[in-house]
A and B are shown apart, each in its own frame.
Chain A
Amino acid sequence: MAASVQVHPPLPALPRVPSLGTGLAAAALGAALVAGTAALLFLTSLVASAGYNNARLTDEKRSLEHQTQRLEAEVASLRSLDYVEAEAKAKLGMVGAPSHIFIQVDSRLKGR
């Protein structure tokens, strides 16, 4: 007797329901991407800001160095002999040093 084999059509595929873990992972990945992008933007902005800041400070440093040079020159001119003499005469009413007059005396007279 021949055995009869009954062939059933394949069952229709059930719709896949994402598991809770996969969803969370996807959300986390998305969040990480967003956070990463935000962080990158933030860092880029920080670096850009630091770059501008650096350029500004370099410029300021150079400007201050030039100012220091100028002030050193000014101090030097204020300490120059001509200036000191002119100021001493004009503002302090000083006069030129008196000329010291010396005479030679006989050393034998010194004891008297």
Chain B
Amino acid sequence: MPSAGISQWRLGLVLLTFAACTLALVGRIGYIQVIQHREFIQQADETHWAQETIAPQRGAIKDRSGHPLALSVATWEISLDFTRVPTKELRAQAVEAAAKATGVRRDEIEARLNSPPPARIAENVDFAQGKALAEAGLPGVVMQERVRRTYPEGSLGASLLGFVGRDRSGLTGLEADFDRDLAGVPGAMVFERDSVGNPIPLGYRSATQAKPGGDLVLTIDRYLQRIVERELNAAVTRHRAEGGTIIVMEPGTGAILALASRPTLDLRTLDLADNKTVELVRNRAITDLYEPGSTFKVITMASALNEGAVTPEMTHNDSGPVMKFGRPIDNWDRVHYGTQTMTQVLVRSNNVGAVWVADKLGPARFYPYVEKFGFGQPTYIGLSGEAAGFYRTPEHPMFSPIDLATNSFGQGITVTPLQMITATSAAVNGGQLMRPYIIDRIESPEGVRRFQPVVTRRVISEETSRKVRDMMKVVAEEGTSKKADVPGYYVGVKTGTANMIAETGGYSDATIASIVGFFPYQEPRAVVLAKLDHPKDSPFGSQVAAPVFAAIAREALVYWRVPPSQNALAYANRP
């Protein structure tokens, strides 16, 4: 019968369809189970297992007495991601909660939500403030733990400390140079999680604890650092200088007690997106080169004294500008004093006298001392970006015999402020060149690593060093540097004024006014170098830099409770 035939055919078609579907399903299941097996296992594991990185506590940077200059506190970064939030009510609830926790206005949050998710609402949200929001577990609210570096002393030592990036690693300064010690080792926690992503209480859980970073204890004294920064700010403002640098060093050990340079950055209002920040981050005390001018006469004189070429009482006749290879070399004030002792050469900062001393030594004896005092090579203080400086020796193809003359009073040679103070320290500390250092110790959970003073080499004898101290003391009392004198105490100084190198080559009219000095005379506890770049009111170190030295020395001596010299009498205290 035709109707039975059609039914059979239809039944067969249905069965065939079912069979085909079943076959397709079996095939698909087989494909998933056999071919895509590993992929799905991995997906399941990823959904089921979670790994969370435990961020280590970044170590603090402290001054020599343990006061923190930089330390870390936990904060939140709050974002909103509504990709998987279906209802408007839930979204509104999340926006409301985020606005309450961060203080950001609702309309502002709404505006940010127009950008691709996740929309960052706020960072550096106080941990306690954000914790309530984190515990509420609102859908769409993304809370990420962050670490904020705080600076209890403000921007004290900013160019030295440097700063960290958003990924918590150090980008500049000590934060970058000692990042490995400060950062610590991250930990990890592996756990089974439920469908929402929370750890299953009875599930597997394995944690490797994070190791906190070590604390960096510097040789910097925050009190001295504050004085130095205050005086530097005042001097730069007073003399409308383009910048400046001050370093205070312990001459016997090479420990840096204070170090500041201007212009500098403000760590509290740091904007990494601002291109000007890049210009401000460098530590000018170790990266910038300058011609030291007459402060270098201390080095010339120390070398000649040590070689026995001169004595403090030896005389020479300054009868006028000295001609060197067809070029006249004159004194800074164009005044000529006739017969004068070597001490008077320093007291008057006499260029003609310095050239005479260098001639007595000759290049064969002068340049080895320049090298032994550490010029033309890094000090190896352990900070990145340190410049080596430059000068020409007779072996250099561009060496000119006039170089010896100009080098004797600190022109034609480039140095860093750190090199200059290290060399001066060697001249007054008994004759030993110390390697400067700024890290006193690193305190980590594994123990304390201490940094000891390192003697690089002996440069001059103790007797020569004593003579240099005596001569510098006379300079402070009688010389061009009277403004560096500290009433009640004996100090030793030497000022310098050097023309800056113009961008077009040669020298410009702008000067670098500087001073190096030590105090107290009897037992030097500190050597100070102060340098101001292009002061506008007076070009001279004796006018611009000397008062800075005096102010620092006066406060430091009181701070250290150094009694006034025996021949001094306190007669008044006035505000």
Contact = CB atoms under 8 A, between A and B. Distances in A.
A72 B574 CA distance: 38
A52 B198 CA distance: 11
B488 A76 contact: no
A21 interface: no
A48 B154 contact: no
Interface in A54-73: 54-55, 63, 65-67, 69-70, 72-73
Contact of B569 (A73, A77, A103): A103
A106 B569 CA distance: 10
Nearest to A72: B71
Contacts of B68: 72-73, 76
Nearest to A81: B226
B131 A63 contact: yes
Interface stretch (A4-12, A33-41, A91-99): A91-99
A47 interface: yes
Contact of A102 (B127, B199, B226, B570): B570
A107 interface: yes
25 contacts: A44-B202, A51-B201, A67-B128, A69-B71, A69-B73, A69-B74, A70-B73, A72-B68, A76-B152, A77-B150, A80-B67, A80-B153, A81-B223, A95-B575, A96-B575, A97-B558, A99-B554, A100-B487, A100-B488, A101-B487, A102-B489, A102-B564, A102-B569, A102-B571, A104-B567
Interface string B120-136: 00000011100100000
Contacts of B569: 102-103, 105
A79 interface: yes
Closest 8 CB pairs of A and B: A102-B488, A51-B201, A76-B152, A66-B74, A77-B152, A102-B487, A98-B573, A102-B568
B190 to A, nearest CB: 15
B72 interface: yes
Nearest to A66: B74
Given A66-B73, A67-B127, A76-B71, A101 B573 contact: yes
Contact of A81 (B71, B128, B222): B222
A100 to B, nearest CB: 6
Given A79-B67, A81-B226, A102-B487, A107 B127 contact: no
Nearest to A56: B201
Contact of A55 (B152, B201, B567, B572): B201
A70 B487 contact: no
Given A98-B573, A103-B487, A80 B152 contact: yes
A103 B489 CA distance: 9
Contacts of A70: 73-74, 126-128
B261 interface: no
A72 B153 CA distance: 13
A106 B566 CA distance: 10
A94 B202 CA distance: 62
B201 A52 contact: yes
Interface in B420-477: none
Interface in B546-571: 554, 558, 564, 566-571
A70 B570 CA distance: 46
Given A55-B199, A98-B573, A104-B568, 17 more contacts: A66-B127, A70-B126, A70-B128, A72-B71, A73-B73, A77-B150, A77-B152, A79-B152, A80-B153, A98-B575, A99-B554, A101-B572, A102-B487, A102-B488, A102-B489, A102-B570, A103-B569
A101 B570 contact: yes
Interface string B55-67: 0010000000001
Contacts, number: 98
Contacts of B226: 81
A35 B164 CA distance: 60
B147 to A, nearest CB: 9
Interface in A2-42: none
Contacts of A73: 68, 71, 73, 150, 152
B222 A103 contact: no
Contacts of A82: 153-154
Nearest to B126: A70
Interface of A: 44, 47-48, 51-52, 54-55, 63, 65-67, 69-70, 72-73, 76-77, 79-82, 95-107
A79 B226 CA distance: 14
Interface size class of B (residues with CB under 8 A): 35 or more
A54 B154 CA distance: 39
A65 B458 CA distance: 50
Nearest to A51: B201
Contacts of B489: 102
Given A79-B152, A95-B575, A69 B57 contact: yes
Contacts of A80: 67, 152-154
Contacts of A76: 67-68, 71, 152
A69 B150 CA distance: 11
Residue from A52, A95, A101 whose CB has the most chain B CB atoms within 10 Å: A101
A30 B554 CA distance: 93
B257 to A, nearest CB: 15
A99 B223 CA distance: 17
Contacts of B154: 80, 82
B567 A107 contact: yes
A98 B554 CA distance: 12
A46 B222 CA distance: 54
Nearest to B490: A104
Contacts of A102: 487-489, 564, 568-571
A100 B575 CA distance: 9
A70 B573 CA distance: 42
Nearest to A75: B152
Interface string B196-210: 000101100000000
Nearest to A47: B202
Nearest to B568: A102
A72 to B, nearest CB: 7
A44 B201 CA distance: 11
Contacts of A100: 487-488, 554, 558, 570, 573
Contacts of B575: 95-96, 98-99
Contacts of A107: 566-567
B568 A99 contact: no
Residue from B131, B201, B489 whose CB has the most chain A CB atoms within 10 Å: B201
